[in-house]
């Protein structure tokens, strides 16, 4: 279906979802949150989609944050519903079962940084800027920023970024572990495409197992996490993809995975 604020494009097994509100620096309003939630649900259900790229329209911003003009008039109850809608989207991305790559070319602030952190890999232009500036509005992050930032970068970094509200550049974000890779602006599209193509050609069930073990098992104690890993490892042996992958290795050829 067509969306007003999200563009959907397929290239082979890679689906690109682009937040398309460049006049608002791709700010997230309630309508856009709903469209993104539906778009990711569709990608999850489409077996032809092996990897997803999440981008923002224009050169200035990935997503500059939540739409402050809409937030300004919210009641506490409406704000709670807005926060929960944002958190549902972020959780659905994180638990999609397929790898999601964020293409970050400009500002990723507030809700935009939270959106990027929900993705599994984050590739940023050297010109990208990151931050959780909600404190400057008399607010706290509402789409998971306090939680995912602490898990990605540690408590000290989360407190620094959330309490000071000062943006950081891509290089600092990479040092903190917020960004997977930083590239020159002119290399961003090529790098994202190469990573997405590699993911799309990989074994879908194995990638789903890795995502589950890291994201779900990683939230538990080490013994429970190791059990997540063992169960996922054993389940992989029931798949055609495992036989294809090991057979291709022994036969010195490239594997072709079908997600079975």
DSSP, collapsed to helix, strand or coil, labels residue 22 as helix
- Of 35, 114, 186, 244, the catalytic one is 114
227 is catalytic: no
- The token duo for 145 is 């920023």
Give dist(CA 241, CA 201) in Å, integer.
Answer: 12
Which stretches does DSSP call E strand in the chain?
6-11, 14-19, 51-56, 61-63, 100-104, 107-109, 121-125, 129-131, 168-169, 181-183
- Of 94, 134, 229, 244, the catalytic one is 134
Q: Residue written as tokens 């709670």?
A: 80
Contact 130, 160 (CB under 8 A): no
CA torsion 121-84-50-64 (nearest 10°) is -50
Give dist(CA 186, CA 176) in Å, integer.
Answer: 24
Angle between helices 30-45 and 76-94 in degrees, nearest 10: 20
Query: Which contiguous run of DSSP H or E holds residue 172?
Result: helix 170-176
Residue 66 DSSP one-character state: B
35 is catalytic: no
Residues 6 or more apart in contact with residue 148 via CB below 8 angstroms: 90, 114, 117, 118
What per-residue string of b and e applies to 32-57 under the rule 16 or more CB within 10 Å gives b?
bbbbbbebbeebbeeeebbbbbbbbb
Q: Annotated catalytic sites, by residue?
A: 114, 134
């Amino acid at each position: 279906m067509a969306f007003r604020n999200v563009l959907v494009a397929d290239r082979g097994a890679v689906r690109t979802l682009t937040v398309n509100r460049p006049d608002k620096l791709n700010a997230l309003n309630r309508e856009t949150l709903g469209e993104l939630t539906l778009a990711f649900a569709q990608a999850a259900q489409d077996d032809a989609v092996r990897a997803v790229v999440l981008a923002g329209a224009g050169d200035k911003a990935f997503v500059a944050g939540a739409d402050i003009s809409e937030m300004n008039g919210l009641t506490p109850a409406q704000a709670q519903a807005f926060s929960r809608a944002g958190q549902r989207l972020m959780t659905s991305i994180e638990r999609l079962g397929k790898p999601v790559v964020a293409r970050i070319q400009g500002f990723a602030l507030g809700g935009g940084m939270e959106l990027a952190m929900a993705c599994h890999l984050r590739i940023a232009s050297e010109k990208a800027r990151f931050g959780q500036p909600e404190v400057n509005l008399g607010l706290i992050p509402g789409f998971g920023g306090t939680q995912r930032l602490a898990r990605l970068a540690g408590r000290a970094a989360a407190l620094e970024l959330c309490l000071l509200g000062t943006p950081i550049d891509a290089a600092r974000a990479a040092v903190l572990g917020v960004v997977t890779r930083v590239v020159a602006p002119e290399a961003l599209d090529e790098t994202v495409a190469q990573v997405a193509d590699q993911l799309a050609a990989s074994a879908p069930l194995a990638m789903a197992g890795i995502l589950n073990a890291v994201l779900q098992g990683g939230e538990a104690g080490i013994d429970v996490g190791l059990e997540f890993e063992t169960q996922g490892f054993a389940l992989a042996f029931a798949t055609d993809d495992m036989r294809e992958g090991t057979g291709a290795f022994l036969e010195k050829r490239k594997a072709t995975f079908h997600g079975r």
